[in-house]
Amino acid sequence: MERETLEVDVLVVGAGPAGLAFAIDLARRLQDAGEEKSILVLDKAEEIGHHSLSGAVMDPRGVLALFPDARERGFPVQAEVREDALFLLRENGRRRLAGALLPPPFRNHGNWIVSLNEVVKWLAGQAEALGVEVYPGFAGAEILRGEDGRVAGVRTVDQGRGRDGEPKANFQPGMDVRADLTVFAEGTRGSLTKRLIAEEGLAEGRNPQLWGVGIKELWQLPEAAAGRMEGVVWHTAGWPLARSEYGGGWIYGLPDNRLSLGFVVGMDHGDPGFDYHATMQRWKTHPLLRELLVGGKLLRYGAKTVPEGGWFSLPRCHGAGFLILGDAAGFMNAQRLKGIHLAIESGLAGAETAAAALAAGDTGADRLAGFDEAFRRRPGHAELWRSRNFRQGFQRGFLRGAVRAGLDQLLGGRLPGRLPAESDHARYRRGLPPRPKPAFDNELAFDKLTSVFHSDTTHEEDQPCHLVVRDPDLCRERCTAEYGNPCQHFCPAGVYEWHDGEGLSINASNCVHCKTCDIADPYQIIDWVVPEGGGPVYTGM
């Protein structure tokens, strides 16, 4: 089979905030040094931003480091924060904390409410203006290695294979993109990054990554609410989660009488019957949400995993011929519920490292190890270090976690030690009673198929299944008895269906690329690999 080969100096896999910030800063540094190098950014989405979803209240620190005049250049801010509060929810009650009572991580004055979809489109435009090539619709499927074993680029996914894997009439082999430096900025649980971390032993000696699953909806509010919510940033804790479960909700007021709603739950709850989608739907039936939403309209739906483990869960982010940036590595601060600014700062540290490496003509492991020092000089390092024991503290119970986090906050992160963490999937318990699903009234609470419809997800049906279950017999022979096949519950798009007597069916065309299954499966036998195209369309998300 003849494959096209493209040679570039620097290849970035993933056009999110980390990859694009890296490309912009590196392009500028090379221009300043009078060096001509080619930078190519690939993204699996068919249009830039289609797979980008976040809350999102953004700390502007990252983008202002990249563009001090970001606002003047038209950076897409949806609203500035004018009111923030935390609601402690009981089933039919609430307690509002604001002002001096609001815990510092929930104070958001000075931050910007944004749509990540719009942010990455804007960043991609800035990158292209600097001569960076940005190619959407090209998913990295394999890591290429040089003769010495170093990372040497990626192979993009083949197009036009049938369900059986055989080439169809429209078959086109993927392209080999070879580069001196390959930057993995694929976002949360990147499929190539996962392999790279395993192959290179990059997570040795680190805490396991801890994950959350975030479900987001965009709503049009009823006329009567016009002008009331814009710039409001509310978070909720408590109901419908049990005390042992980590997570909470967000309510962000957007222009044009729209609302960003979301609910994130840590994957370490231990319940194999936990359904992230159903939990979010139940949350919307609380009087606080009901009062806002009745008479409104669901516009969009999406889901995404969130790397919450923090500093001690970061893998080694460099090696021979590669860097790992942004969510792909885990640059996220769970305490502040923010990561876009850290993704950008990791991109800036990566660009500083890459520029020095390219100037020296050496992108080997020792040279790229300078990334650690470059990131330590960014404010994101101090921020992540202060909260280094935050998330895993909650694995010992919510109360203990909250007390420790509060004490650490008071002491400016000076409590010593490194709390260990247990992998999310290792915490499943057996024999728990099934969780009842909420009533889906299709006004406030929607079933999974209706929700997925609002993500505009499509995939070519006649292609190899991109959800690879490596040992299907195990599903039937052990998982049913031991855990009740959690995939049918945890997938927020209803992709996995378990039929007694028939086994597992996988509706891969509904997959919203959240990566939950790749992480949450108790036996770790599901591999999410890139499909030949398609996925969700997260316009405005």
Whichever of 176 and 527 has its CB closer to ligand SF4, that residue is 527
With tokens 């039936």, the residue in question is: 285
513 is a site residue for ligand SF4 (CB under 6 A): yes
| Total number of residues that touch ligand SF4 (CB under 6 A) | 13
Q: Least separation, in Å, of the C-beta of 494 and ligand SF4?
A: 8
276 is a site residue for ligand SF4 (CB under 6 A): no
Q: Which of 87, 79, 88 is nearest to 109 (CA)?
A: 79
Whichever of 105 and 273 has its CB closer to ligand SF4, that residue is 273
Question: Helices 17-32 & 116-129, crossing angle to 10 degrees?
Answer: 20
Specify the stretch interacting with ligand SF4 by CB under 6 A; choose among 1-9, 156-164, 280-288, 509-517.
509-517
Rounded CA-CA distance 419/431 in Å is 29
Whichever of 358 and 517 has its CB closer to ligand SF4, that residue is 517
Whichever of 316 and 515 has its CB closer to ligand SF4, that residue is 515
Say if residue 34 is exposed, middle or buried (CB neighbours under 10 Å; 0-12, 13-18, 19+): exposed
Around Cβ 178, how many Cβ atoms within 10 Å? Answer: 17
Q: Least separation, in Å, of the C-beta of 408 and ligand SF4?
A: 33
With tokens 């209240």, the residue in question is: 57
Whichever of 112 and 498 has its CB closer to ligand SF4, that residue is 498
Contacts of 144 (CB under 8 A, 6+ apart): 151, 152, 153, 154, 155, 176, 177, 178
493 is a site residue for ligand SF4 (CB under 6 A): yes
β-strand partners of 458: 535
516 is a site residue for ligand SF4 (CB under 6 A): yes
Residues 206-225, mask of contacts with ligand SF4 (x by CB under 6 A): --------------------
Whichever of 280 and 491 has its CB closer to ligand SF4, that residue is 491
Q: Least separation, in Å, of the C-beta of 32 and ligand SF4?
A: 41
Rounded CA-CA distance 328/197 in Å is 10
Tell which one of 120, 154, 237, 512 touches ligand SF4 (CB under 6 A): 512
Specify the stretch interacting with ligand SF4 by CB under 6 A; choose among 56-64, 137-145, 243-251, 488-496.
488-496
Around Cβ 525, how many Cβ atoms within 10 Å? Answer: 14
Tell which one of 157, 324, 514, 530 touches ligand SF4 (CB under 6 A): 514
Whichever of 194 and 515 has its CB closer to ligand SF4, that residue is 515
491 is a site residue for ligand SF4 (CB under 6 A): yes
Rounded CA-CA distance 213/536 in Å is 16
342 is a site residue for ligand SF4 (CB under 6 A): no
Q: Least separation, in Å, of the C-beta of 512 and ligand SF4?
A: 4
Say if residue 365 is exposed, middle or buried (CB neighbours under 10 Å; 0-12, 13-18, 19+): middle
Q: Find the binding residues for ligand SF4 in span 413-472 (CB under 6 A).
A: 467
Whichever of 251 and 452 has its CB closer to ligand SF4, that residue is 452
511 is a site residue for ligand SF4 (CB under 6 A): yes
Q: Least separation, in Å, of the C-beta of 515 and ligand SF4?
A: 5
Tell which one of 279, 371, 515, 531 touches ligand SF4 (CB under 6 A): 515
User: What SS3 class is residue 288?
Assistant: helix
CB 514, CB 305: distance < 8 Å: yes
**In Å, how far are 231, 300, 366, 440, 444 from 291, measured between CA atoms?**
18, 20, 57, 18, 11
Rounded CA-CA distance 265/307 in Å is 12
Q: Least separation, in Å, of the C-beta of 261 and ligand SF4?
A: 19
Can you give the binding site for ligand SF4, defined by CB under 6 A? 467, 491-493, 495, 511-517, 528
